[in-house]
Structure 1
Amino acid sequence: MTATVVLDPLVPMLVLWAAAALGVLAVALAIWRRLSGWWLRGLAGLALLAALANPSLQSEDRTPLSDIVVLVVDESASQRIADRPEQAATAIANVTQEVARLDNTELRIVSVGDSEIEGDSGTLLMTGLSEALAEEPQGRIAGVILLTDGRLHDVARAPALPAPLHTLLTGQPDDWDRRLVVSNAPAFAILGEPVTLTLRVEDQGMAPADTAFVPLTIAIDGAEPLPFEIPIGQDVELPINLPHGGMNVLQFEIPTAEGELTPRNNSAVVQINGVRDRLRVLLVSGEPHPGERTWRNLLKSDASVDLVHFTILRPPAKQDGVPVNELSLIAFPTRELFLEKIDEFDLIIFDRYSRRGILPNEYLDNVRQYVENGGAVLVSSGPEYGSAESIYRSPLGAVLPGAPTARVFEEGYTPQITDIGDRHPVTEGLAALSPPADEGDGPGWGRWFRQVDVITAPNATTVMSGLDDRPLLMLERVGLGRVSLIASDQSWLWDRGYEGGGPQLELLRRLAHWMMQEPELEEEALWADPTGQTMRIIRRTLELETGDVTVTHPDGTENVLTLTEVSPGRFETLWDAPEVGLYRLSDGVLHAVIALGPAAPREFEQTIATGDLLDPIVDSTRGGIIPVSDGAIDLRNVRAGRPAAGRGWLGITPRDAYQTADISIAPLLPAWAFLLLASLLIIGAWVREGRR
C-alpha cells in the first residue's frame, strides 16, 4: 500500500493561478502599508487557495511482480557438433538452478533453430531474441543470457536491451576444424574445353601444424572418384573436362581428420551444365528422294548444328557408262571424312545409303570402330536396306540393331509406340503430343506407306512398331557408342503434315540426344528435383518394378523410401528433407547426389566458437562472456549501471516491477476545515492590527 497527494482543483487552473496572483498582490500591499498581520493574511490566502486546489490523498494497492531472466538457447546445426549438445544441457540446468535460488525471479527459455532453407540465412540469434523480448514486459526484464557458440549471422538486428546481456559460450579451447571451399565455379561450360575451378582447404582453430597436404577426391555424377593431393591454405586451380552434355554434378570431398569438429564442411557439390559449342553432323544420302530435303531442313534449322551433307547422285538403275567422278558436283572426300576426321563428328546419319563402291569396306569398318569408341550412327533405311547392296552386308552390319529379311512392304500403316517404348525416354509420352485417333486406341498420327522387314538384334530395343507390329524404330548400345535404325524412309510424311502428320521433330530431337548420351534421356536414371526443402525423387527404368531408394543425410543417418509408379517406367516420391546439405541417393544399382542449399551450409563455414561478434553488444550492457567449459556460473543481483559480470558470476538487475490492483482517492481536509482555518487567520490578522 502506497499513498501520494494529488490535486483535484475545484476551478480551472487558470482561475487558480489568477487567485494566487491576487493573493500575492494583497500580501505585498499589506507589507507596503506595514500592516503587522500581513503574514496572517498570507496564510489565510494560502488556506483559500488550498481549498480551491482540493488536495486529495491517493492510495494504491500494489502487487509486486517477479523479475524475468531470458535464456536464449542456440539450437542451430553448428550447436549439434562435438560435445556442444551436452554442454548446452549442462548450462541450461545450471542457469535454471541459479534462477530458482533468486527471490522473486522467473526464467524464460527460448530456443532458436536453423533458419529456413531459402537463402541459407544461418543462425538468426538476434532475431529470436527480439521476438522473445516482444512477448515480455520490458519493465520486468532483469537480464538476458545467450547460450551459443557465437556464430550468429544477424548481429546488426540486435535489439535495445533494458538489462545486462551475457553469453555462455559453448565449445572447447582446443577445437579445430578443416573446411573445403570451392569458388569460381561457372554455371555453364562447353564440352571438350576445360573449365577451371578454384579450390581451397582451410584449417580453423587449434589445427595440427604437421599436415601440409590432404587427399581430395572428385566424383562426377556419382561415378568412381578420382584422387588428388592439394596443399592446405592455398588456392588450387583445377581444370576439369565435363564428360557429357546437360547437368554434370561434381562432388568434391576430403577425408575427415582425427579430432576435427565436423565432416559437414569437408565436401562440396558443384552443378555445371555442359553445352556443346557446335554439334557436328555428317549426313550421307544414298540417293535423292522426297525425305532427303526433310532431313536437311531439320538439321539446318538449328543454328548450333554444323552439317556436312553429301548425296550420291547416281541412282542404282543408271547404267550409262558415265564415270562416277564426272557425276559428282564436287569430289567426295571419303578418305578425309571416314578415316582422318571421323572422330570430329557427333553423329553420322546414313539416309537410304547402299553399297556402290563409293565407300570401301575399310571405311565402313572404321565407322564401326567409331561407334564402339563412343560415336553415334543413325540409319534411315528404304528398299535398299533389304537388297544385296544393303549397308547391313558391310562391316557396319555388326553394330546395326536390325537384320533385313529382303522383304519390303508397300502398304499403309500408322506407327505405334511399343510397350517398352512407353517406358523409353526417346518415345515416352510422344502419343500425348497428338490428338487420339478417330478409331482405335493409338495416337492420331498420319500413315506411312513403306516398311523394311527386319529381325531385331538380341540386345536391341524396339520402341516403335509398324505394319503388323513389325519393328520400326530400334535402338542399341554398342561398346561405348549407340546406334539406331528406322526401318522406313517415309518419316518425312509427318513433316509434310500428311493425314495430320506426327511428332517427327520431337522424335528425331530425342533420338539424337539419346544417341549423344545426354543424361536426361538415359533409360536407367535416378535423380531428384528440389523445391525448397522438398525433393521429388525420380527413378526411370525399363523394368516393370524398381527397388526402394536409400537417402543418406549430411550427418550420415539414412531413410529408406518407397517409390510409386506415376507413368510407365517412371517412379516418384516426395520427401521433405530435415535440413540443408548434401544428400546421397541409392537404390543399390544407381547412385546420385543432390545439394539442398550449399553442400556445407552457412552454419558450417565457421565452426570454432568465439565471442568476438557479441563482444560490442555485451560490453554496451556491462555484461560478460563466460565459456561453458570453465564450469558452473553464479547469478547475482547488481544495481543498475554497475558492472554485471566477473570471474565465474553473472549479474542481473532487479526491476522492482509491480501491478496496481486498486486506487482510492480521499480529500486531505474537508472544504469547511479550509474555510474555518482561513477565517481564523483573517480574524487573527484583524485582532493583531487592531491592538496596534
Structure 2
Amino acid sequence: MIDSLDTGLTLHGTWWWLLFWPPVLWFVRHTYQQTRPPISTAALLWLQLLRSLVFSMLLALLIAPILSYVLKQAEYPLVVTLIDNSQSMTIREAGTSRRQAVADSMSGGLGLALQRSVVGIFSDHPVRSTWSNVLGTPTSGQATNIGSALEQAPRWGTERQRLHAAVIISDGRYNLGDHPVAAAQELGVPIYALGVGSAIPPDDVQLVSVEPPGPMLSGHPAVLRIFLRQWGFTGRRAQIDVSLQDSVVASEVRRFADPGVLEQVDIPLPPMPAGLQSLSIRVASMEGEITHQNNVATTLVQVRPHRLNVLAVTGGASPDFAFLHRTLAADSSLTIQFFTHERGWIDNVDLSDLDVLILHDLSRQQFGAETARRVEQFVQTGGGLLFIAGDRQANSGGVVSSGLPLLVPTRPLKSASGPPVIGQHGQHPAIRHTDDTGSDWSRLPPLLGMASALERPAEGPVLLSVDSTPVAMAVTHGQGRLITTVGSGFWRLDLLASGVGETPQTIRRFWRQSVQWLGLPEATRKVRSTPEQAVVKHGQAAQLQIEVFDELMQPFSNADFNFTLNGEIHRPTIQRLGAGRYLASWPNLVPGSYSYELSATSQDVVLGDDRGEFSVAVQTLEMSDQRLDEEMLQQIAQATGGAYRSLARWPELAEKLSPPPSLDRETKHAAIEVAQSWWLFLIIGGLSIEWILRKRWGLL
C-alpha cells in the first residue's frame, strides 16, 4: 500500500469579489494616512492591519473558499508467479540444469522485477511458496499439471486484490490434467510465459510405447511390437531384451535411424504358459544419455489355453459382412464359422459350444421370437454377443422385442454427418489401442448410414457416436456381455482411410478387439473390475472400472468399497458413473506390480468381491519428451493477451512483469472552510478591537 497527500482550494461563492481586494487595501492605507490627529507609526500600522483583516474576512465570506486535502492510497496489482518444479527441470543443457538457469535469472534483475508478486511452484499439483524458499525446494512429482497451477493462481491473493496477471516459468511440457490453454482462458487475465530449456532434444533413447500381441495361445509364438525414438545416436546399435520373471525370453538388436523418428520394432516371442504374463522390456543404456528412466517398460499379455470358438451369422451378403469376414478370418486366435441365415438355423446350432455369437444385420423376420429367446439365454449364461444392425434390419422395422439390451433402428438409416467419435468410455478394451484412446477415429470418413430413430432400452458405456447418436455400445447382461452397433459402410471407413497413417487398422482393430472382449471368461460374479490400463506410466493415476450387480443381476448404484493393494489397505478415490458403474483411481503409485482385491458392500452386507493386477512402469511421464515446448507456452500467452519470451529475453517483458501501482482509494477531507457563522464573530471582534484602539489614541 502506498499513501500520498494532495491539497486543494475551491471557491463556493462568486470569484470576482477577489477583484475588490486590491482597491480595498489601497483605500484602508490611504484613509489612515489622512488620520487626524497624527499618531505614532506603530499605532497607525496596527490600525491598518486590523481594518485590512476585517475587510478581507468580509470578502472571504462572499467568496466562501474551502481549503481541503485529498488522501490517496495506491496498491500494486496482484501478479502470481508460477515456477515449474517438476523432474524435467533437472535436465542439464550446456552444463547447467534448467532449474539452475531459473535461479541464475532470479539472482539478477528478474528476481527484482517479480519480488512483489505472489509465488508458487507446481509439478503434478501447485503449492504456494515464498521467494526466500522457492528456489531451495527440491524438485518433486512425476508429472506436470500446468492447468491445475493456473486454476489455483487467483486463490492466492487477498480478498481486496483481484488477479491482474500471471507469470509462468516452465519448459511447457504438460502431461497431466486438463489442456493448459483452456485453463488459461478461464483465468481471464494476461499470462506472460518464460520458456526454460532448449527445443533441441538432448541425447536420449526413449522406449515410447509397447503394443502387446492380442491374446496369445499357449504353445504358440507371437510378436511383441515396441516403438522407439532417439536423438544423438543415429547409426548406433542397441540391444532390446524382453524378460519374463527375471529371465530373458527374447532379444533384438536395432540400428537407430534418423533422430526424432518413431521407429517400430517387432520382437518375436516364444511360446508361453497360459495365464496373465508380465513382460519387462529394456533397451540397453547408451553412453551419454541424459536419463535411463525411459529405457524400460512393462506390459501384460493374456495367454489363453485355446482359441475362441466364434459363429457369425448374416442376414444376407453385403460389403460390410465381407469386410467383417476378412478381418476376423485373419485373427489366428479365433476358430470362426461364417454362414448366411437360413430358416431354422438356430435349431441346428449348439450355442453352448460357442464363446462368441455374431449376428450381422438380421431382418425382423430373420430374428424371430424363438431366435431372440435362445440368444438371450446364451448371453445370460455367459456367452458373448456382437449384434450389428444395418440397412436390412432398419428397413424391416427393427427386431422383435426381447430381454436383450440392444440398439435397434426403428426407421431406415440416414447419412452420417461426420465420422464416429469416441464416446464417454474411451478406454474400453474394444476401442483402446495401447496408450492411444482412439484419436484415429476423428480422421476417418463418415459412415454411409446411421440411426435416424433408435430404440435404446438399456444404459451402458457408449463406445462410438455421431452427433450424440450411439453407433456402438457395450453392455453386461446376466453372466455374459454384448456389444450392439448400428450403422452401415464400415467397410468404407477402412477403404477410404488407407492413405492416412495407421488409420486403416482402426475399424479392423475395433471388430477384433470387440470379439476378444466378448470372449473373455466371465464367472457368475456380481462385482466385476477391469483396469483402464494394464500398465500405467509413473505419474499417471491407476484407474479401475468396476461394475456392481444385485441378486437379480441388475445394476447396483449405491455400493461402498473396501480395497487392498498388495495386501495392504489402500483406499482410492471413487467416482460414481451411474447404472452400477464406478471408477476407482490411485494417484502417485510408485513403480512396481500391484495385485488388488476389492469387496463391494451395502449397509454392511457384502455384495461380492473381485481381484486383478496392474503395473506401474518405471518410465515416468516427465521423461517421455524433454524438449522445451515453445508452441504450448505461446498458445497460453496468445489465448490470454499475454506474451511469450525465452527466459534469457525476460527484460523485454519487464514492464509487464512488474506493473506500476494503481489508485485503490481516494478520500477527500475539508481542512478550512470560510463559511461558518464563527467568522462573523471574528469580524465583529476585529472591528471592536479597532474601535477601542482608536478611542485610546484619541481618534474619532
State the TM bucket, normalised to the shorter chain: 0.3 to 0.5
Q: Which structure's CA Rg is the greater one?
A: 1
TM-score by length of 2: 0.38
